[in-house]
Structure 1
Amino acid sequence: MITTTQVQKKGNQFPNEIVDFKQERDRLYFTTKNGVILELTVLRDSVIRFRYATEYVFEPDFSYAISDDVSLGFNSLEVEDGKLEYLITTSKLRIYINKGNLKVKITDLEGTIINEDETGFHWEENFDYGGNIVKMSKVTQSAESYYGMGDKASHTNLKGKRANNWVTDQYAFGKDQEPLYKAIPFYVGLHNDLAYGIFFDNSFSTYFDFAHERRNVTSFWADGGEMNYYFFFGPKMSQVVEAYTNLTGVPELPPLWALGFHQSKWSYFPEKKVKQIANTFRKLKIPCDAIYLDIDYMDGFRCFTWDNRRFPDPKRMVKELEEIGFKTITMIDPGIKIDRDYWVYQEAMENDYFCKRADGPHFKGKVWPGECKFPDFTNPAVREWWADLYKEMIADVGVHGVWNDMNEPAIMDVPSKTANLDVRHDYDGHRCSHRKAHNVYGMQMVRATFEGLKKYTFPKRPFVLTRAAYSGTQRYCATWTGDNVATWEHLWIANVQAQRMCMSGYSFIGSDIGGFAEQPNGELFARWIQLGIFHPFCRVHSSGDHGDQEPWSFGKEITDIVRKFIELRYELLPYIYTMFYKYVNDGLPMLKSLVFYDQEDSQTHFRTDEFIFGDQILVCPVQEPNAQGRRMYIPRGKWYNYWTDEVVEGGDEKWVAAGIDKIPIFVKEGAIVPKYPVQQYVGEKELTELKLDVYYKDGTENSMVYEDQHEGYDYKKGRFSLRKFRLRGKPKELIVQQFKDGSYITPYNKLRLQFHGLPFTIKKIELDNEKVDLKSVKLNGNNNIEISKDFTELHLFGA
C-alpha cells in the first residue's frame, strides 16, 4: 500500500489562488490559476458534493454507485465573497473556500468545525498509466473516531487504521487483513458529539489512512480517476447513514423466506444427498427455508448447465424440495468455459461480449472449469443478455434464487488473483481499463442477475446473493463476508464485519456460519449459530473439506441448542421483516453498533461485541471457549434480560451468565416485540394469531410491526399492514394504543399480548374505552391476554 508520506514526496501538485468563480443554481465553480476547478454541488442542506478537475477538464460525470431515487433539494443557499475566502451557507452548514489554496473548512451554524482540509486536494501525475493519483488530506479533530468502510476485518473504530478498497478473493483471510471482498469507500467521523460522513466515489483502488501515519491527519487517495467525494452532516450518525443510504440506494423488500435459515456446503450432490439433507431437517424439526447447490451441480462447471448424472431431472427435484418447504438456490460464476460446443460460450463469442486485452485478444483466466473468458458486465448489452440466460433455470426449472460467487473476478494461479489491469471495459459507454472497472465488475454482474431474476420470478420477488460489491450493490442483492475460517477469532470478525456493513448502507449481510475453511467443534458452531440468527442473512456454509457442518453434525446437545436458536429466529421473523421495512423506507441499519445507538455515551465509541438488533433488542455473542457468561456493556436505559425478565440499568459493564445454551439478549423496556409461531419453513402454517411480547415501562415507548403477503409487489400498491404501537406505563396502569395503516388484511384476527415486568396485578381491562370481562380476553394469570387485532386502545388497571 502507498503510504501518506510516500504520496507527499513524489512531486505532488497543489491548487493555488482562485482566479474565477461562477454559480449555476446548486453548483458552484471555483477555478485556480494553475487549472484546478472545484465543483461544489449542494444536494441537500446537509449533503455537499466536492469534485475536482485538473488542467481545467472534468472527466465524464458517471457513477454506478448513485441511486436513481436519491432525494434532492435544499432550503437555502447563500454565497458571500469575502476578502480571504468564499462562504457558502445552507440551513445546516457553513462552507469556507480559501481563496489562496482552495482548502475547504466546514462548520455548523454555530461555528463548530465539523471537517477541514489539512493539505486538502493534491495530485500527482501517474507516468505508468496516465492520469492522476488523486489525494485528499483532512485534519483529525480532537478525540475523533471513524466507522464504516464495509467488510473490514478490524475493530469497529478505525482510528489508527489503514484500509484499501480493491475487491479481492481473500480465502481464509485474517484479522486486519487488507484488502477484502468489497469496496465501500464510505466512513463516518465522530467528534464533539457531531457526526459526519464522507463517500469517496472512485472505483479505482482507493486507500484510507485514519490518523495512522500522522496522528493529526486523515487522508484518502486513489490510483486514478477524480477526487470526487460527498460530505454528509448529521449531527447524529443515523442522519449520516440515512443520507448515504439514500444516495446509494436500498433493496426491495425480499421474500420472507429469504430471511429464514439457509443451509449450504461445497457441495451437496448428487440429488440423493440433497434430498437426504432436506429430509433430515424435517425429521429433526429444525426449521430451514433454503438449500444451496454449489458448482458441482453443473456439467463440468459450465454455468447454466446441469450434470445429468448427478441431477437427472432438476425440475422434478426442485418441485419435490419445494413441496416440503425448501427453496433451491444455485451458484453462477462469471467465468465461461472456453468450449466451442457450449452454447453460452458460443453466444458470447458471436456477440463479442467477452472482455478483451488492450491489444485486442480476449482476456483468459483459469477458474473452476479451466480456461475461461469473462463477459464485460459493464456493457449494457451484455447485462441484458446475461439476464436472459436465467430464463431456463428460473422460469422452466423453477430455481428460486441465485448466488454469484468468484465475481471479483477471482482468477486462479496468478499473483494478482484477478484480471490483468490492461483488460478493457465498456463502463456504460465510458471505456476504461480494469484499473477502473475492477471494483464494480462483480456489482454489474449481480445487477444483471437481479434484473434476470426479477423478470423470470415475477410476480414473486427475486433473491440474489453476491460475494463482491461496490457502494450501491445493496440495491440488487444480499451479501456475505466471504471465505472465513472456523476459529473463535473469526467469530469475532463476523460480528464486527456485519455491524460495519450495516453502518455502510448494506444491511442484508451475513457470514458463513461455523466458518468456511477448517472445521468447528460443536461449541464454536453453537456459539456461531447464536450470533448468526441475529444477522439479516442467516446461512451455514462450509468448504466440506474437514467434515459435515449441518445442525446435527455435533451430537444431540449441540443439535438441541442449534434448533432452539433457529426456532427463535423463526419466532422473530415479523420483527426482522419490520427491521427490513425500516431499512428500505428510512435507510436505518438493521444492526446498530452501540456507538450508532448512543453516540453521546463515550463508552460506546470503542465497543465491538454488543449490537442492537433492529431498534429494541440488545445482543452480545459469546466469543471464547468454555465460557459460562461474559462481561458486556449495557447501553444507557433499562433493559429486560430476555431469558429471566430481570430488569437491569444500563450505562456500565455487567457480568451476564450465558452457559452453552444461551447468549446475552436484552429487550429495551417499553418494547412490543412481534412473534410468529415456530414454523419449519415460511408459509408452513396458517397464522391464527400474532403474539406481542409487551415489556412494561414507566413512561412511553413506540414500536411497530410491518406485514404484507411476504411475496410479490402488492405492497407497493398499498396492500400492506403497518401497526404502530404506543405504550404508556404508570405504576398502576398500562395503556397500549394502536395506529394502523395499509389495506392488507392479515390472515389472523387475534393478537396475544404477553406482558413482562408488570408491577401490578391486572384488576380491570378497558378495550376501546369499554370495560371487558377478564374471562373474555382469556387472562392467564398476569401474563397474557387475547384481543382483537383491530383494537385502538387497550387500558390495563392494577390494584
Structure 2
Amino acid sequence: MNINHDKQVSQQHAGVVERWEKIDNRFYFYGPQTVLEVKVVSDTVLRFRFSALGNFSRDFSYSHAHTYQESIEKLEISEEEEYFSIKTAKIDCEIQKERMLIKILDKKGLVISEDEKGFHWEEHKKYGGEIVFNTRKGQASEHFYGLGDKSADNDIREKRFENWGKDTYAYGKDTDPLYKNIPFFIGLHHKVAYGIFFDNTFRTYFDFGFERKNATSFWADGGEMNYYFIYGPELLNVVETYTNMTGKPELPPLWALGFHQCKWSYYPEKQVREITSEFRTRRIPCDAFYLDIDYMDGFRCFTWHPEHFSNPKGMISDLEKQGFKTVVIIDPGIKIDPNYRIYKEGLEKGYFCKRMDGPLMKGAVWPGECNFPDFTRAEVREWWAGLFDELMDTGVRGVWNDMNEPAVFEIETFPDDVRHDYDGDPCSHRKAHNVYGMQMARATYEGVKKFGHNRRPFVITRSGYSGLQKYSSAWTGDNVASWEHLSIANSQCQRLNVSGVSYCGSDIGGFIGSPSGELFVRWIQLGIFHMFCRVHSSGDHGDQEPWSFGLEVELLTKKFIELRYQLLPYIYTTFYQHVKTGVPTLRPLPFVAQEDSETYNRQDEFCMGDNLLVCPILAEKVDGRWVYLPEGKWYYYWDDKVHEGNQEVWAEAALDRIPLFVKAGAVIPMAPIMQYVGEFDPEQLFLHVYASAEEHTSYLYEDKGDGYEYTQGESSYKTFVTASEKKSYTITQRIDGTYDPVYKSYEIMVHGLSFTPKSCEVDGEKVHMDVINPDKNLIRFDAGKAFAKIVIKG
C-alpha cells in the first residue's frame, strides 16, 4: 500500500481530551469518540492503545506481550494547562489535550519520541474497519534497527518496509516483504535508545523517513493502534526488555548448537547412510542430518516413503549410534486423500481452514491439492501436537517447519476471505496471516516436547511473528549462492538477533545455485558464529557437502567446523545468557559501543557473546580487510597481536582465516574437538586467558546438555575474574550451582602477559608451567576444575 500521508483527505484524528480517569496503572483519556489507554508496564515501558470508536476489542496477542508486567518504582500524573504528564522513575510522558499527541522524555529533558500527527485513521473502504496510523517526528541524526529478517542495511533509516509473510524464493538485497513478521524496531539518537513494538497482526508498514525525512510512521490495514514504547537508554536494554515481553526460549539441546547438514533431498536410505558415513570417515564433525520432503510417501506429512525408507526406525537408530540426530521437515499442507489418516481426521473433526462462504481452503503445494489446519485454534494445535507421537517414536530428534507463511503455489498464499478461529476471536486471513507460521511452530514445539522422552525440543521455522523465539529457531529462507547473499546473511542474522530471535542462521553456501569453493569456505566461516549452523542446498544445483569442492576446501571447511566445536562451551554460555536475560547472542557494533558514533553505520562487524568480535570476508579473491574495533584492547585470534580499539585495523585473512578478535582480559572456554556432542568424556577443558591491564569478568555455563535437570538446579555458572598488577596476574573462579562436569581439570593458556612469567601458583600450590612462546609470554599449565585463585608471578 503506497500511502502518501500528506494527501489523505479522509483521515481522522483524535479529538480534544474531555475527561480522564486512572484505574490502577492504566490511564484513560476520552475524546468526543476516541479513547486513549496508557498502561504503565514498568518504569521503562509504556503501552498505548487508541480506539477510534471509544471501545477496545479483546485484549489478546499471540506475542503474549499483553501479559507482561514489571514492578513500578514511581507513578505520578499531573494535569497542566495544555497536557497531562505521567511520570515514572525513568521517563516522563506528556499527552497533549489537543489531539492526544504524545511526547516522551528522559529525566534530563531529552525528547526521546514525539508525535507529529500522532494517532490517525481512515475507514477501510474495501473491508471495513479502520486503517490505523501513527506518525512521529524524526529526531536529529536518528538511526533505526530491527524488524526481523529484512534484507536491508543494518541501519534502516530512509527505508520503508511491509510485514506480510511471503515465500520469497531467491530474494535479493532490499526485497520486501520476506518470510517473518516482526513489528519491532529500535531508535537511537543523541546516544539514547528506545524501542517500539507495534503489536498488530494485520499487514503492517513502517516508514523511517522514506516519504518525508523529518517523519517516521507505522500503520496497519486493520485492527488496533496498539504499541509499546520501551526506553533503554542502552540499545541492549531495549532488546532485553522486548525479548522478555515476547518470551525467551528454553535452552536447546547442546547437539543442536553443533553443525547441521541438509539438502533437498537426501534419499533413499542408501544415500543417507553414504553421506553420514563420509562425515565420519573424513572426520568432519556433524551432529544433525536432515530429511527434506522426499522422505515422505507422496509428500504426505507424518508418513515415510515405503521404498525410500522402508525401515526408518532402524535407520535412525543406526544414525544415532554414529552420533547423528535426525531432523525431518513437516509442512502445513495436508494432502486431500480419503485414504490418508491425517486428512480424514482433520476433515472429520473440522480442523481445516474454511473460505468465507463455507468451502474448505484448498491450495496446491508439494503433495498436490491440500487443505490446511487452522493453527490459530487451540484444539487444532493440540491435535497437531499429538500427531508427533509416532514420528518421534521412530527416533526423530527435531522438526523443521517450512512453507508456513503460508505458501501456496500459483496464488502465493491464502486468499483474504479464509476464516480463522484466532483463539476464540474469529477473523479473516487478513488478521491471521502474519501469525499462522508461528502458531504452526508452536504446535510443533508442543508435540516434539511432549513426545521427546524428556529431552529438550528442537524446532526450526521459516515464518513467524513476534515471540516465535519461544517455540523455535529460524533460518533466513531460500537464499542464493552469491557473495551478495553472504553479505545479506550477515545483516539478516544480526537484525534477527536484535529483534528477539537469537537462534537463527542462513542456508550456508546458498540454497539456490552452486557456490564456488572460496564462497563456500567464507560462508562456513560466518556460519560457525551463528547459533543455528546448517548447510542447506537445492540438490538440482549440485552438492554442498564439505568434500564436494575438492581437498583444499574440504580441509578448510573441516578446520572451521572444528573451531565451532571447540567454541561450544563459549557458545552454550552465550545462549544461556540469552535465555536468562534476553540479551542477544549476536550484537551489532552499535549495541556494544553505543557511545561511539563511528559504529552506528558499521555493517559487517558483530560481537558473539561478551568477548568475541567477528568480521566476515564478503568479497572474493581478497586476503584481508579493514575491521573497526570498539574501545579497549583486542587480540587477533590467529596471531595474538594486540590492537587498540576506537579505530579501524587491517586483519590479514587469507582463505584459512576469518577476522576474529578476542577482548583483552577474556577467558574463553574451549572443548576438545569431537565428531559430535557427547562422542567421549573429555579429560580436560581448555581455558584461553587473554591478559589485560584492566580487570575483566568472563563466564562459563555448564549442565548435562540435554534434559531438564538444569531447571532443578543441576547446572553451574562459573565467574572468572582476571586482574593485573605490576609483576603478577591473577585469575579467580567462583562457582555457583551444583553441577559437576565430567572433565577433571583445566588446561590453561595465558596469552600476552606484560611481564616474563617465572612461577605459577594454583590455590597457593606451585605448579609446573610451560612457556610456549617466550616472545609473546604465552604460557600453559594445568589447574583443578574447582580452583579458586591462580597467581602468575614475574
Confirm or deny a common fold (TM above 0.5): yes
- Equivalence for 2:617: 622
Checking the alignment, whether the CA contact within 8 Å between 1:485 and 1:518 is kept in structure 2 is yes
How far has the Cα of 1:652 moved from its partner? Answer: 1.7
Unaligned residue ranges in structure 2 (runs of 5+): none
Aligned pairs for 1:362-401 within 5 A: 362-394=360-392, 396-401=393-398
Amino acid at match of 1:548: D
Instruction: State how far apart, in whole Å, the 2-side matches of 1:778 and 1:791 are.
Output: 19
Checking the alignment, whether the CA contact within 8 Å between 2:405 and 2:434 is kept in structure 1 is yes
Tell me whether 1:773 sits opposite 2:766 in the alignment.
yes
Tell me whether 1:678 sits opposite 2:677 in the alignment.
no
How far has the Cα of 1:433 moved from its partner? Answer: 0.3
Aligned pairs for 1:75-474 within 5 A: 75-394=73-392, 396-414=393-411, 417-474=412-469
Instruction: State how far apart, in whole Å, the 2-side matches of 1:686 and 1:646 are.
Output: 33
Tell me whether 1:787 sits opposite 2:783 in the alignment.
yes
Q: Deviations over 1:718-762 (max 9, x none)?
A: 100111011111242111111111111111120111011012222
Instruction: State how far apart, in whole Å, the 2-side matches of 1:586 and 1:69 are.
Output: 18
- Equivalence for 1:17: 16
How far has the Cα of 1:168 moved from its partner? Answer: 0.5
Checking the alignment, whether the CA contact within 8 Å between 2:263 and 2:290 is kept in structure 1 is yes
Amino acid at match of 1:413: E
Checking the alignment, whether the CA contact within 8 Å between 1:718 and 1:742 is kept in structure 2 is yes
Name the SS of the counterpart of 1:552 in structure 2.
helix
Q: In the alignment, which of 607, 621, 632 is matched to residue 637 of structure 1?
A: 632
How far has the Cα of 1:72 moved from its partner? Answer: 1.6
Tell me whether 1:734 sits opposite 2:744 in the alignment.
no
How far has the Cα of 1:18 moved from its partner? Answer: 0.3
Name the SS of the counterpart of 1:578 in structure 2.
helix
Instruction: State how far apart, in whole Å, the 1-side matches of 2:5 and 2:120 are.
Output: 13
Instruction: State how far apart, in whole Å, the 2-side matches of 1:496 and 1:622 are.
Output: 13
How far has the Cα of 1:70 moved from its partner? Answer: 3.7
How far has the Cα of 1:66 moved from its partner? Answer: 1.7
How far has the Cα of 1:67 moved from its partner? Answer: 5.4
Q: In the alignment, which of 557, 570, 573 is matched to residue 578 of structure 1?
A: 573
Distance change >3 Å, CA 433–CA 4, structure 1 → 2:
same
Q: Deviations over 1:314-369 (max 9, x none)?
A: 00000000110000000000000000000000000110000000011101000000
Checking the alignment, whether the CA contact within 8 Å between 1:36 and 1:55 is kept in structure 2 is yes
Instruction: State how far apart, in whole Å, the 1-side matches of 2:317 and 2:385 are.
Output: 23
RMSD: 1.1
Name the SS of the counterpart of 2:668 in structure 1.
strand
How far has the Cα of 1:171 moved from its partner? Answer: 0.2
Amino acid at match of 1:706: Y
How far has the Cα of 1:567 moved from its partner? Answer: 0.2
Aligned pairs for 1:27-46 within 5 A: 27-33=26-32, 35-46=33-44
Q: Deviations over 1:481-504 (max 9, x none)?
A: 000000000000000000000000
- Equivalence for 1:797: 793
Amino acid at match of 1:525: F
Instruction: State how far apart, in whole Å, the 1-side matches of 2:539 and 2:786 are.
Output: 50
Instruction: State how far apart, in whole Å, the 2-side matches of 1:78 and 1:446 are.
Output: 42
Q: Deviations over 1:171-223 (max 9, x none)?
A: 00010010000000100000001100000000001000001110000000000
Checking the alignment, whether the CA contact within 8 Å between 1:699 and 1:730 is kept in structure 2 is no
Amino acid at match of 2:131: I
Instruction: State how far apart, in whole Å, the 2-side matches of 1:765 and 1:675 are.
Output: 21
- Equivalence for 2:2: 2
Checking the alignment, whether the CA contact within 8 Å between 2:643 and 2:649 is kept in structure 1 is no
Name the SS of the counterpart of 2:546 in structure 1.
coil
| Range moving further from structure 2, 491-500 or 759-768 | 759-768
Instruction: State how far apart, in whole Å, the 1-side matches of 2:50 and 2:241 are.
Output: 22
- Equivalence for 2:605: 610
How far has the Cα of 1:10 moved from its partner? Answer: 4.5
**Regions of 4+ moved over 4 Å:** 777-782
Instruction: State how far apart, in whole Å, the 2-side matches of 1:732 and 1:716 are.
Output: 43
Checking the alignment, whether the CA contact within 8 Å between 1:4 and 1:209 is kept in structure 2 is no
Checking the alignment, whether the CA contact within 8 Å between 1:503 and 1:592 is kept in structure 2 is yes
| Range moving further from structure 2, 494-503 or 648-657 | 648-657
Instruction: State how far apart, in whole Å, the 2-side matches of 1:476 and 1:100 are.
Output: 43
How far has the Cα of 1:280 moved from its partner? Answer: 0.3
Percentage of identical aligned residues: 53
Name the SS of the counterpart of 2:540 in structure 1.
coil
Instruction: State how many pairs are aligned.
Output: 790
Amino acid at match of 1:670: G
Name the SS of the counterpart of 2:559 in structure 1.
helix
Distance change >3 Å, CA 693–CA 197, structure 1 → 2:
same
Aligned pairs for 1:529-540 within 5 A: 529-540=524-535
Checking the alignment, whether the CA contact within 8 Å between 1:561 and 1:661 is kept in structure 2 is yes
Q: In the alignment, which of 666, 678, 687 is matched to residue 682 of structure 2?
A: 687
Name the SS of the counterpart of 2:119 in structure 1.
strand
Checking the alignment, whether the CA contact within 8 Å between 1:10 and 1:124 is kept in structure 2 is no
How far has the Cα of 1:796 moved from its partner? Answer: 1.1
Checking the alignment, whether the CA contact within 8 Å between 1:779 and 1:786 is kept in structure 2 is no
Tell me whether 1:526 sits opposite 2:524 in the alignment.
no
Checking the alignment, whether the CA contact within 8 Å between 1:251 and 1:584 is kept in structure 2 is yes
Checking the alignment, whether the CA contact within 8 Å between 1:779 and 1:785 is kept in structure 2 is no
Q: In the alignment, which of 716, 719, 722 is matched to residue 717 of structure 2?
A: 722
Instruction: State how far apart, in whole Å, the 2-side matches of 1:790 and 1:570 are.
Output: 23
How far has the Cα of 1:55 moved from its partner? Answer: 1.2
- Equivalence for 1:554: 549
Q: Deviations over 1:431-458 (max 9, x none)?
A: 1000000000010001000000110003
Tell me whether 1:665 sits opposite 2:663 in the alignment.
no
- Equivalence for 1:744: 739
Amino acid at match of 2:337: D
Amino acid at match of 2:701: Y
Amino acid at match of 1:418: T
Q: In the alignment, which of 578, 583, 591 is matched to residue 588 of structure 1?
A: 583
Instruction: State how far apart, in whole Å, the 1-side matches of 2:391 and 2:49 are.
Output: 44
Instruction: State how far apart, in whole Å, the 2-side matches of 1:780 and 1:567 are.
Output: 22
Q: In the alignment, which of 506, 514, 519 is matched to residue 501 of structure 2?
A: 506
Amino acid at match of 2:401: N
Instruction: State how far apart, in whole Å, the 2-side matches of 1:237 and 1:731 are.
Output: 36
- Equivalence for 2:650: 655
Amino acid at match of 2:496: M
How far has the Cα of 1:680 moved from its partner? Answer: 0.2
Amino acid at match of 1:230: Y
Distance change >3 Å, CA 686–CA 71, structure 1 → 2:
farther
Amino acid at match of 1:12: Q
Instruction: State how far apart, in whole Å, the 2-side matches of 1:778 and 1:157 are.
Output: 48
Checking the alignment, whether the CA contact within 8 Å between 1:71 and 1:246 is kept in structure 2 is no
Checking the alignment, whether the CA contact within 8 Å between 2:377 and 2:421 is kept in structure 1 is yes
Name the SS of the counterpart of 1:762 in structure 2.
coil
How far has the Cα of 1:626 moved from its partner? Answer: 0.4
Unaligned residue ranges in structure 1 (runs of 5+): none
Checking the alignment, whether the CA contact within 8 Å between 1:70 and 1:249 is kept in structure 2 is no
Name the SS of the counterpart of 2:266 in structure 1.
coil
